[in-house]
Chains A and B, each alone.
Chain A
Amino acid sequence: DTAVSQTPKYLVTQMGNDKSIKCEQNLGHDTMYWYKQDSKKFLKIMFSYNNKELIINETVPNRFSPKSPDKAHLNLHINSLELGDSAVYFCAKKVGQGVEAFFGQGTRLTVV
């Protein structure tokens, strides 16, 4: 039973489209994150959100926006998709002050 659930697992779309990746967690609210994994396996943090504050990595294009409709979700919206957006995106959350972090299984986005 995964604590963080991402959908879809795979997403193939054309350039210029707008798409969303959903992230749901069932551990109660705390800090949630979005990461982008590039071709070199480096996971770059895009956003962190703790229901009070959204911290945005300044290098993330404003075509990317996180949306939290409720405490259990932090979805990633991407507008005007570009070829360079192709990557694997991970949602993650941290519970309280503990060291544990829980990751979703990733969404492989392919822009064609």
Chain B
Amino acid sequence: AQKITQTQPGMFVQEKEAVTLDCTYDTSDQSYGLFWYKQPSSGEMIFLIYQGSYDEQNATEGRYSLNFQKARKSANLVISASQLGDSAMYFCAMREGPNTGNQFYFGTGTSLTVIP
């Protein structure tokens, strides 16, 4: 089974609108961390936001927020007020806890295009 699933290979959003990028995960660990990265055309992977499995509040970083639904094992990224510079690949990732070796898993990515 896939550890991280991103079901949207490509997404389009109008500039200034909000967009949600989906991510579901699979783990039996109680302690784990969820990450979102942005990959522009340069290839760098830019860290956006982190959510710990024990965090009760959804993580927020500026225009980014993580909609964490633990029971559903989903960790969707919400980008508000989209900008042209948001066009990039977005990767969801999970780091499992020490009991399973702190393994790191990435989803296959979602390509976001912001339309003027």
Given known contacts A41-B35, A41-B50, A43-B37, is B44 in contact with A101 (CB within 8 Å)? no
Q: Once bound together, how far apart are the Cα atoms of A42 and B46, in whole Å?
A: 6
Q: A40-B47, A41-B35, A42-B45 are in contact. Are A99 and B111 (CB under 8 A)?
A: yes
Interchain Cβ contacts within 8 Å, total number: 55
- A101 touching B47 in the complex, CB below 8 Å, given contacts A41-B35, A43-B37: no
Other than the given A103-B91, A105-B103, A108-B102, 9 more pairs (CB < 8 A) read A40-B47, A42-B44, A43-B44, A44-B44, A98-B9, A99-B110, A101-B91, A101-B108, A105-B105
Residue in chain A with minimal CB distance to B8: A99
Residues of chain B with a CB closer than 8 A to A101's CB: 89, 91, 106, 108-109
Q: Looking at chain A's contact residues, is the secondary structure mostly helix, strand, loop, or mixed?
A: strand
Residue numbers in A under 8 Å from B10 (CB-CB): 99
B72 to chain A, nearest CB (A): 23
User: Counting CB contacts under 8 A, is B104 at the interface?
Assistant: yes
Asked if A88 and B104 make an inter-chain contact with CB atoms under 8 angstroms apart, the answer reads yes
- Interface size of B in residues (CB-CB distance below 8 Å): 24
B62 at the interface (CB under 8 A from A): no
Q: Lowest 7 CB-CB distances: which A-B pairs, in order?
A: A43-B45, A103-B106, A41-B47, A100-B108, A45-B43, A99-B111, A106-B104
Q: Does B98 contact A (CB under 8 A)?
A: no
Q: Which of A35, A45, A100 meets B109, CB within 8 Å?
A: A100
